[in-house]
Amino acid sequence: MLVDDLSTRKEVGMHRAALVVMMIAFSFLNSGCSPRISPEEAKVLVILDEIQRGMESNIDYAKFEQLLGTAKAEINTLKLKSDKNPCFMSAVSKCYASYEIAGKAWTRRDKEKDVKRKEDMDMTLSFSLSFSVLNIKKANKCYQ
């Protein structure tokens, strides 16, 4: 009987030790080795992606401005964090700047009478949107 108690205690102890080792290994793999995107950063990406999808589906300018304002506020909030990812911040800042340029091109295009200038503004709008897509992808790669 005493031998059974000792072997059971050893098995329980080994199971506990294995569990502790697995928990330590899991926490090590999920911590510091590769940074994780924060909820605030994910929110910024969602807003920037929503702007992009909206531009592709012809949203109106008022909605574009609203989304752009929301993106700016969220990016400014991220800038105040002490543990911000420089790669991510650079990418989303460039993406936001691209959308600002796109917005200016959009308004100038709509006000312009000269067909050639309208084409120029369309080209600027197109390049700006392409650049913003690249920066959204870059921001996502900052955490891979």
Does residue 143 contact residue 85 with C-beta atoms inside 8 Å?
Answer: yes
Q: How far apart are CA 51 and CA 31, in angstroms?
A: 32
pLDDT at res. 2: 46
In the prediction, which pLDDT does 90 show? Answer: 95
Residue bearing the bigger pLDDT, 131 or 19: 131
Closest C-alpha among 88, 68, 65 to residue 78: 88
Could you give the CA distance from residue 14 to residue 20 in angstroms, rounded to a whole number? 10
Q: How does pLDDT run across 31-56, given as a tens digit for each residue?
A: 454 578 888 999 999 999 999 999 98
pTM, full prediction: 0.73
CA distance 24 to 124: 52
pLDDT exceeds 90 at position 137: yes
The predicted pLDDT at position 29 comes to 44
Answer with the residue of higher pLDDT: 36 or 8: 36
Query: Among the listed ranges 25-29, 39-43, 48-52, 60-64, which one has the minimum average pLDDT value?
Result: 25-29
Reading the block at residue 62, the tokens are: 């008022």
- Mean pLDDT for 65-82 is 94
* Residue position matching structure tokens 């920037």: 48
* Range 52-61 average pLDDT: 90
Neighbours of 61 (CB within 10 A): 11
Q: Which residue has the higher pLDDT, 14 or 102?
A: 102
76-128 residue pLDDT tens: 999 998 888 999 999 999 999 999 999 999 999 999 899 999 899 999 999 99
pLDDT for res 28: 45
